[in-house]
Amino acid sequence: MGAYTVIGKKTPKSDAVAKVTGEARYATDVYLRGMLWARVLRSPLPHARIVRIDTSKARALKGVHAVLTAADVPDARYGALVLDMGMFARGKVRYIGEAVAAVAAVDEPTAARAVDLIEVEYDPLPAVFDPLEALAPNAPILHEALAGYTTLFDRTARAMQGNVNYQAEIACGDVEAGFAASDFVFEDTYQVQKQHPSYMEPNSTVADVDAEGRLVIYNTTQRPHINQAILSSLLGVPIAKIRVVPCHVGGGFGGKNRTLTEPPAAALARKTRRPVRLTFSHEEEFTSATTRHGGVIKLKTGVKKDGTLVASQATLYYDCGAYAPTPNAVWLGAISSTGPYRIPNVRVEAFSIYTNKMMSGAFRGYGAPQSTFARESQMDRIARELGLDPFELRLKNCLVEGDSLHTGQPLHSVQVRETLLKARAMVGWKGPRLGPNRALGVACGIFACGGFATSSIVKMNMDGTATVATGAMDMGQGLRTVMRQIAAEVLGLAPDDVTVVIGDTDLTPFDVGIFGDRGTHTGGQAVKLAAEDARDQILAAAAAGMGVPAGRLELRERKVVDRTAPERFLHLRDVLGGGQYKKGGPIIGKASINLTETAFDPGIVRGAATKMFSTYTFATHVAEVEVDPRTGVTKVDKITAVHDCGTVINPDGLRGQIIGGMATGLGYALYEDVIIEQGQVQNPSFLECRPPTAVDMPAIEFATVEGYDAKGPFGAKGVGNVSVINIAPAIANAVEHAVGARVTSLPVTPLKVLQALGAGEV
């Protein structure tokens, strides 16, 4: 691991001043000459045939430049792993809020008026809103042609049948024999809600056609290169004729992984040959963007009387809404369903199920908060009924270095035990009860980290500075700063000597997008490898000039230094300034990677949405709560968190990620619930579906355990997702220890606590 000059040091975010002063440009700050304003007509019904669309009145309105429906754009579908969604509803609508038509006009009021003038005749169809009801043989079918849709995963028997768009199966050991050998078998059902990512900046795109006829997209996104590819397939335009210029992202958390505003804006810009802006209203964010998957998780776990886990059967029913933008979240739920524990006999079946509701997609934790809530809630039930300490039960069964997941994937860099022991010591654990109506609750979790394709370029400048180009987006998490630190460490520079160019598809190499804790781990590793490529070229050039072997040279403080005689050195500017014109030419380092060396065992896994993840992160969280048994109100006083995240690149960035993750988890646990009745969102605003604010946040204490991941840059892993997944079960467990009320559905509202106090659990 060694001592580092830049890595592990507090480094201010490179865009901090721009954001504080208002200089940072977001998509909503983009104004182009002659720009038109777009609005979308959305379905008022959850399920209906489109009988007729009449746009004549809208087209005739003064100031309207274009009106588009499905009839005006190519018949093409897109999606992450299931290609099921078009630019506009074609033939029928499947949820309230689905795009039916779009207009471009000279200003917003005119665009709004034009939308109101579009006449649509619908023939209502039966709708289904519950994922379990959607599985019934007589349930309304949302996608009649589902079996013919393109998918990017290996289909299982039930995938792409009825309302099931994705199914994963994991089977290892002998589950029935495991249950037979168990002293106790616990069966529980848990329910989880939809949660909106609640980013402050709405989805927004400005599309333009430049002088060469190329489509130029200014947007808020976590995946510019995938946006480019999707627009190419939807519009029938070569990728080389599309440029995506992502702006600063005003919060993403997974929600900006979708392509929502880009297609209509792009189609309208191509139609009008003028810039077009499409920005969601905040109400549209709650009705027509994406949320965390709601659903039902059923767990059956067999244990020995000493608490040894023997067998687990988990069935996950995830409600994906009318379209399936990310079955990968369901797959991650399946991976996380056993928790960070050794269980020799496992059967998991996970479903992504269509319902006539707004879409579910990626959101921080990406499928794991749901199954982690179930697993960690049941772990506490097991501990209580067997008379075991909750920490001891987890320590007895936790994964250790050299173990394999229930998927058959061998693990490395495993520090579960260390997080448990440190968290227990930090809270001075003597048991969960602290006093009347006050208690501690613990939860432990696992999350997939890294993998997938990315690349990077490091260009050395004549004065010894460097420019890094990466397609991996900084969406506010500080990735740009981390990339500077990584390159600076390799090249012997200060962070201020490194400029990072991010996202622009004309200027950066490919990255699949930022999700799944792959920014620092995988994007950072590509930057490190590209910087090492540049470093090796520099050392080779300097060796020739200094007359010593390259192996004796190193980079530090903008110099090439002979480590055996430090007084012998060359300034980088002397090596690079002449190198631009002399033998060897300019120095450009590059790296292209896809961290998929070790796949899941195909004899154990069927229907994996992705073949593997590079590594896994682990964390233990302890919540301290006080519950008022008269009102059911739960107050979280403190959260203690210990993370296994490998080498810390930037301590300030780590702190921000952990605190942000805890805020998301707190909202999931206690407050946030997108309420949908008959397909209609009932609380489409931050006021009605409110995330926690500063006054709701508890005291926070966090720490890391020493670790090193060989596949990450300088041993680093991610922390953005694993910081979320344990908060809800830790709070629910603490509530039960405080007042004896077990709540098995989220959020843990005062009403549910009171009901549980009366009925035992709810």
Of 31, 84, 72, give the one whose Cα is nearest residue 268: 72
pLDDT of residue 474: 94
Other CB atoms within 10 A of residue 10 CB: 10
Indicate the pLDDT class of residue 80, thresholds 50, 70 and 90.
confident
* Separation of alpha carbons 762 and 755, rounded Å: 7
Indicate the pLDDT class of residue 577, thresholds 50, 70 and 90.
confident
* Separation of alpha carbons 318 and 351, rounded Å: 6
Q: How many CA atoms lie within 13 A of 386 on its CB side?
A: 24
Computed on alpha carbons and rounded to an integer, the radius of gyration of the chain in Å comes to 27
Read off the pLDDT of residues 352-402 as tens digits, 9 standing for 90 and up.
999 999 999 999 999 999 999 999 999 999 999 999 999 999 999 999 999
pLDDT of residue 761: 54
Q: Is the pLDDT of residue 750 over 70?
A: yes
The neighbouring-strand residues paired with 170 are 348, 605
Amino acid identity, position 11: T
Indicate the pLDDT class of residue 197, thresholds 50, 70 and 90.
very high
pLDDT of residue 454: 95
Read off the pLDDT of residues 417-444 as tens digits, 9 standing for 90 and up.
999 999 999 999 999 999 999 999 999 9
**704-719: average pLDDT:** 95
Q: Is the pLDDT of residue 326 over 90?
A: no
Residues with Cβ within 8 Å of 172's Cβ and at least 6 positions away in sequence, in order, are 344, 345, 346, 406, 407, 408, 601, 604
Q: Which residue has the tokens 């069935």?
A: 315
pLDDT of residue 580: 58
Residues with Cβ within 8 Å of 418's Cβ and at least 6 positions away in sequence, in order, are 642, 644, 705, 706, 707
pLDDT of residue 116: 98
* Separation of alpha carbons 389 and 156, rounded Å: 40
Residues with Cβ within 8 Å of 335's Cβ and at least 6 positions away in sequence, in order, are 368, 405, 407, 446, 448
Of 216, 237, 290, 292, give the one whose Cα is nearest residue 259: 290
Mean pLDDT of the chain: 95
Residues listed for the chain: 762
DSSP 79: -
The neighbouring-strand residues paired with 342 are none
Indicate the pLDDT class of residue 585, thresholds 50, 70 and 90.
confident
pTM of the model: 0.97
Indicate the pLDDT class of residue 759, thresholds 50, 70 and 90.
confident
Q: Is the pLDDT of residue 581 over 80?
A: no
pLDDT of residue 596: 67
| Residue 13 token pair | 């975010």
Other CB atoms within 10 A of residue 403 CB: 15
pLDDT of residue 659: 95
**568-573: average pLDDT:** 94
Indicate the pLDDT class of residue 600, thresholds 50, 70 and 90.
confident
* Separation of alpha carbons 695 and 623, rounded Å: 17
* Separation of alpha carbons 519 and 500, rounded Å: 14
